[in-house]
Chain A
């Protein structure tokens, strides 16, 4: 299982788009094995929450299957981008 951190940009049903601090965007579908439901995703979008997604590739689609979503502590806006710029 791989992991990625980022901000939930928008959600539709059980699908959500995550933007990493480096500006990459990934499309995830919430797996039926995940301990979260589709209706829990919109609040993450409204808060622009930072999350850590545990995911797997799915060979049938251009996207990933999200198996777990951990909400991370709130970060000041732009902090991630500054860290990335310093590197």
Chain B
């Protein structure tokens, strides 16, 4: 068994764990990282968009070697009803820059690469090993972990829990409570392969340019959720996710929801002739600021999805994961150099540093949004997309009806389905939650 005592143990090799392990190892700390999968990435699922800024702060020249698919030059936001979509598209040649801002990636491949950098930096990676529990001393300080490979504890000054959304180790050690079904989404996704020329022709792209589509509306059948479609080099990631408690009440299967999304007349032609090579499912913590658990204690720190660090409104997660991982690691390095204890009191520095970043600022800004959307889901994910679509169809269809009558018809369609006060109330609440 491993007899030495490590400066730090990192549980998990996703974006937050890799960011933490890399940062500490690069600063000369003796780091052990433990991953339950065969390799880093083998258990990980994401859309996936990589936000360059968060990774650049860790590995500045990542573009030279990381497996990247396409850089995003166009964002499409769709409000969908059963046969239509209303789109807001933003495309800019400015995104064809020397150091692009966002990339599509395939997580299993990207994580494998990130993990190779972690090992190059000097961390020890133990794969195919599941951490079963935290080891505490008589005072209750966390001093290490036990794994499913032998009973002997592995000791360290600090354990960084980068264990992902399910976070069994932290929960079972009583560090945080179970996630609630109304603060987590279940997303399913498929990988559809097409020749790269077909992807480029279909989405009006050249070279490594890419498009992402984020969609909401009747595709989630009245549940709080979104669909997505991302272009990769020679494949398309397509998926849909909804809040677990909504799905529980709905009686719809996740795969039927995905099939219906793929069959939508606005999506189907984009996938035409493709070959599906993988089907994946994963949970996404979407409770936002209010769902963040206790993040630090004596001998432990939580980073990434385990800490609910996801900005559901902007579909950001991996960048929050990498940033929390990096800052937790910076804090540990700082305390190690000062020969300070890895105590809860000293780890408040991690929280203090996080407060200064976009992570906490954004999560705080949107703290009211998850509950608002969830409590008004029939309106935001069903009624309004239908009304918008109906209004635009009335407006664009030229059929001998005069424009004043059309305006009246549109106005009445809104009034029939929702009172003026109700609509104003929704708008007011949305604006207030957004600010």
Question: Do A and B originate from a single complex?
Answer: no
Q: Which residues of A are in contact with B by a Cβ distance under 8 Å?
A: none
